Copies of this chain bind each other. A is one copy, B any other.
Amino acid sequence: MQLVLGVDGGGTKTRAVLVDARGNLLGSCDGGPSNLQNVGEDGVRRVLRAVIEGTVRKAGTKIEAVGAIAMGAGGLDTDHDRRAYDRILDDLLPAGVQRVLVNDAIIALYSGTRGAPGVVIVAGTGSIVAGHDARGNEVRVGGWGYLGGDEGSAFDIGRSGLAAALQAEDGRGEFTLMGDLLCRRYGVDSVRNLLPMIHSYSTPQRLIASLALVVDEAAVQGDRLARSILKRAAGELIRAASTGLGRLGLTGADARVVLVGGVFCSDLVRSAVMEGMRERVPGVQVVVPEVEPVAGAVMIALRQLGRVLDDEVYRNLTLWASSPMNPVDKEEEVRTAGSRQAPSHRDGIVGHHTLG
């Protein structure tokens, strides 16, 4: 019986899993980032080698037992990127292994649709909408990075919150609880004193994204500005998803909308997006996946081998890849997420999707 490898390769970490044809977990391994834009081709090769070999070793098997691999890669945007990943996988895998290589939004989509038509809204540090119809026509909306858009992302929310707090502090804007909350959380006496810290980070956009937690906290406490920032973010995500469905010609009867990423840990954003999508696309089914994104990669690999994703397979996947399916960034700044509680999304507002 042939085994399948699923890989979720993001900008912060990479997870590989090996399952049998029924979706039973045989082994898994985590590693560092495997986003081409962040770590370059050699960096990706090193990480993928480590997690794939580690997974196979833990499963007590050999790479020759693998029949298919599906990988969702963060930052896989162009043919140039695809060729780089192909070169890497050529080095790491025997010739006969079937291979599916997609943007990591697509494995997140599968984690909620099992391959049925629809779109996924990934809202983590960055944001993107991706999807396909029943014939395989694909769509992508947004996901252009923190400098070009990422509307509705944790970066977008955090930046808006920071700007509002600075504006309140220097007298331009109305009072907001976010100022005090930011100062307390980061141990500074004024919001402006956060800026040297932010600029000293090699990836300041991640730290900014983590500020989204404070925006949500203030919103929960009733802060008007914080609530309007989250509502605007939800509106942007709704607009992107509606655009994606429209471009695919999908209606509510034949489409799912999958919500993935730490931003949906915010009750306000999640409920606003659910409500807004149902209003804009009557009858649409909005889904929060029960499995983590790497299980989406496994599903793609199983289908590649001609397996049917029946309920038993899906149940097996949920056993090892159960929700919360939005593992938090491991970086220091995001540990602050610990204080929040959200039963099915306990890992904080910043997910590990850093699409963009």
Contacts and interface: CB of A to CB of B under 8 A. Distances in A.
Interface of A: 37, 78, 140-142, 144-145, 147-149, 151, 159, 162-163, 166-167, 170-172, 192, 194-196, 198-199, 204-205, 208, 239-240, 243, 246-247
A170 B142 contact: yes
Given A37-B199, A199-B37, A247 B148 contact: no
A3 to B, nearest CB: 36
Contacts of A172: 141-142, 239-240, 243
Contact of A148 (B141, B163, B171): B163
Task: Find the residue from A144, A159, A196, A205 having the highest chain B CB count within 10 A.
Answer: A144
Smallest CB-CB A-B distances: 8 pairs:
A172-B243, A171-B243, A141-B170, A149-B163, A144-B166, A148-B162, A149-B166, A148-B195
A188 to B, nearest CB: 12
A163 B144 CA distance: 9
6 contacts: A141-B170, A141-B171, A141-B172, A144-B166, A151-B163, A171-B246
Task: Find the residue from A140, A167, A239 having the highest chain B CB count within 10 A.
Answer: A167
Contacts of A140: 170
Contact of A147 (B151, B170, B208, B246): B208
A166 B142 CA distance: 8
Number of this chain's copies in the complex: 2
B199 A144 contact: no
Contacts of A240: 172
A100 B198 CA distance: 29
Contacts of A204: 147
Task: Find the residue from A147, A167, A196 having the highest chain B CB count within 10 A.
Answer: A147
Nearest to A205: B147
Contacts of A171: 141, 243, 246-247
Contacts of A192: 144
B142 A162 contact: no
